[in-house]
Amino acid sequence: MIKRSLTAAALAAMLALPAYAQMSGTSPASTPSANQPTAGVKAAPTDSNDQAGFLQQQDQGQWRSSKLVGASVYGPDNKSIGSIDDLIVDREGGIKAAVIGVGGFLGVGQKDIAVPFSALNIQRKANSSSIDRITVNYSKQQLSQAPTFAYYQVQPSGTATTGANTPGAAPAPAGAGGARK
């Protein structure tokens, strides 16, 4: 539980910086001037509210990873298809995919699949910071036929692999693909 909380906190911090960088720029309706930064260049802080790019507040369109991980995901027929087990973050701090555990019962027989984060429709409860419902346009059958997601693993020889994607590699033992560190 502590590991999940620390992971969620680290992920939230990573996700906050790019969002703040976008918010602290100019508004879309304004035109660039001599004292405004050009695209991709962040200006030095100009007031006490803009302190070295730190995010000071969560916006309505931003989600806490601690609220996403563990949340149930529903298909187009409003039936539960699984829950979010993990989030995959890229080098730029964007969420690449949500790893959803589908199938099985109480984790037995479940497989992990990675759904593009943009495929999630996340709805907030009215007047609340809590998530009301997460839906996808994939049916339970489509998700059960989706390829199993393999977490990054370092092999003893020092070469990195994702298990199932390495040509000529022997299949990973059962349960090895889901091991996370």
User: For the chain, what are the domain ranges?
Assistant: 65-178
Fold designation for 65-178: SH3 type barrels. (2.30.30)
Residue pair 134/69 in contact (Cβ under 8 Å)? The answer is no
The pLDDT of residue 147: 95
Residue 5, φ and ψ in degrees, nearest 5: -65, -45
Q: What is d(CA 111, CA 177) in angstroms, rounded to the nearest whole number?
A: 10
C-alpha–C-alpha distance, residues 148 and 160, integer Å: 18
**Smallest Cα–Cα separation from 82: which of 104, 59, 55?**
104
| 100 vs 53: CA distance, rounded Å | 32
Hunting for tokens 């994939």 — which residue is that?
Answer: 138
Residue stretches of the chain with pLDDT short of 70: 1-51, 106-107, 158-181
Residue 181 confidence (pLDDT): 41
Model pTM score: 0.58
In contact, 145 and 138? CB cutoff 8 Å:
no
Distance, in Å, from the CA atom of 154 to the CA atom of 157, rounded to the nearest integer, reads 8
